[in-house]
Amino acid sequence: MQSPQVSVILALLACTHAAVVEVGKQRIGRKTHERPYASTSSIQRQRHTKQFVYVYDMPRKFTTDVAELSPEWHSKQYDYDQVLHEHFQSSPARTEDPDQAQLFMIPVYLGRYYNWFWQQWSTTGSPWEIVKDCAPGHAPGSAECWWEKWMWAKGNTSELVREALQHVKAQHPHWAKHDGADHFMVFSYDHARCDLAKDLQLAEMGHMFSIQSYGDLTLTNVPEVPPIIQRWQENNYTWGQPRAWACFRPDADVLVPMYYDFDAEDITSPFAAKRPVSMLLRFEYKAGDGKNLVEHYGHRLRHELIELWRADPLPGSKQGLRSPEETDADMARALFCVCAPGATQDTTRFFRAILKGCIPVTFFRANDLPFARHLGVPYEDFVLNIQPDDYMQLNAKVQHILDSPKQLWHMQEALQAQQRHFVWSEGAEGGVLANIERELSIRAQSLTGVAQSVIT
């Protein structure tokens, strides 16, 4: 028998659950044939009635102080931890009552902290040249000295994560309820937790999930397919060998594009103007310098693709590195944009191509992408993916589509329909921020589901 209080709680839970389900059901992809964005007002209403994310007020050493650090080299793409903190502080999804919350955000500005940390030992004007306090035998400016500081940055960033978690666990009662399963942090660096929290034991992380851009299911720089099933050896996130599932948990983590400040007005429709460039390869390959551009940077594919282009360029194609501005302008004039892997399988180039109306050509293998699994973005309709081992077929595959105007048009149409989902700007209806909230509501829903089944 239920006491009156329990009935009220159950009724509340049921309401909450239903509201979340409603939001969660909205898919943005082809798979449901729904067009959720056709009716803005209903989406806005659903999002705005739901307050479910509590944002911890962390000591300033984790946020404000870090935001004031100014690394000489630091790409804004790593600052989405700050962008999301700011967003959730004023989002209608925020609740100021932790007892009403379904999810808890722990804001720590890890992206900035990490780059600042290793650059403390670099040369002014040349942040990649690490010259100070090199260990004996490691020459100033050498790859070895750079690597030392890079590892210090990893170690110290891990420490910052550890301190943040200790603070939350010691100062607030909420973590313990679900061993952190309803808590999240933003790990805004290339390999997410595997860069920023690599020293943490699994037990310290609990069941906390992550917002991150790293969706690689295999974790390897080696061109051959690694075994998916591996013996679990270490109770930590250290990577260096293929170690599936450690850096990205597809059932829990929320994938987002790295940050870029394109507005809705910066979107170029695939049909906006003539596209005289058949295929664009705006990247280069630096031979391994021992630093972050290690031997297999770009899984070595960049090197292979450039060699392939030199030997046999597709008519109308262009290759070579240009400034980001020139690259964006060229993407708006190209039909296909080759998005070779960088430090990870995808790069922001992939999302910039989408926004510039250029069909991305990718070389993904077992790589999850933002908003695909739960919101149903149908990447297969507007991305040409080629298995890395088949890269030699690049020209043939692109030519095949060029020879079929109907197929090309279908891909461009599908691309056009999805472009706005990749705009980060605040208030972009159906943009990245709205999609993150919808993904979070799905996480909240599954957690609420678990809690209810425990109660009954």
Contact positions vs ligand NAG (CB under 6 A): 152, 155-156, 159, 234, 236, 238
Report the residue number, 156 or 446, with the smaller CB distance to ligand NAG: 156
Which helix (H) or strand (E) is 146 found in, with range? Answer: helix 143-171
| Euclidean distance between CA atoms 132 and 110, whole angstroms | 23
In the complex, minimum distance from the CB of residue 242 to ligand NAG, in angstroms, rounded to a whole number: 12
Report the residue number, 71 or 298, with the smaller CB distance to ligand NAG: 71
Helix axes 4-25, 432-455, angle to 10 degrees: 140
Comparing C-alpha atoms, which of 216, 200, 119 is closest to residue 162?
200
In the complex, minimum distance from the CB of residue 435 to ligand NAG, in angstroms, rounded to a whole number: 34
In the complex, minimum distance from the CB of residue 157 to ligand NAG, in angstroms, rounded to a whole number: 9
Comparing C-alpha atoms, which of 347, 423, 343, 411 is closest to residue 381?
411
In the complex, minimum distance from the CB of residue 155 to ligand NAG, in angstroms, rounded to a whole number: 2
Per the CB < 8 A criterion, the answer to whether 108 and 161 are in contact is yes
| Euclidean distance between CA atoms 160 and 419, whole angstroms | 36
In the complex, minimum distance from the CB of residue 238 to ligand NAG, in angstroms, rounded to a whole number: 4
| Euclidean distance between CA atoms 308 and 187, whole angstroms | 35
Q: Specify whether the backbone of 240 is left (phi greater than 0), alpha (psi in -120 to 50) or beta.
A: left
In the complex, minimum distance from the CB of residue 126 to ligand NAG, in angstroms, rounded to a whole number: 21
Report the residue number, 75 or 156, with the smaller CB distance to ligand NAG: 156
In the complex, minimum distance from the CB of residue 107 to ligand NAG, in angstroms, rounded to a whole number: 22
In the complex, minimum distance from the CB of residue 122 to ligand NAG, in angstroms, rounded to a whole number: 14
In this chain, which residue has its C-beta nearest to ligand NAG? Answer: 155
Report the residue number, 159 or 307, with the smaller CB distance to ligand NAG: 159
Report the residue number, 110 or 277, with the smaller CB distance to ligand NAG: 110
DSSP-derived secondary structure for 170-221: HH-SHHHHTTTTTEEEEE-STTTHHHHSTT-BHHHHTT-EEEES--BSS---
3-state helix, strand, coil split of the chain in percent (to 5) is 45, 10, 45
Per the CB < 8 A criterion, the answer to whether 103 and 443 are in contact is yes
Report the residue number, 66 or 411, with the smaller CB distance to ligand NAG: 66
Q: Say how far residue 382 (Cα) sits from the centre of its chain.
A: 19
Report the residue number, 104 or 113, with the smaller CB distance to ligand NAG: 113
Report the residue number, 238 or 425, with the smaller CB distance to ligand NAG: 238
Report the residue number, 162 or 333, with the smaller CB distance to ligand NAG: 162
| Euclidean distance between CA atoms 96 and 104, whole angstroms | 11
In the complex, minimum distance from the CB of residue 188 to ligand NAG, in angstroms, rounded to a whole number: 20
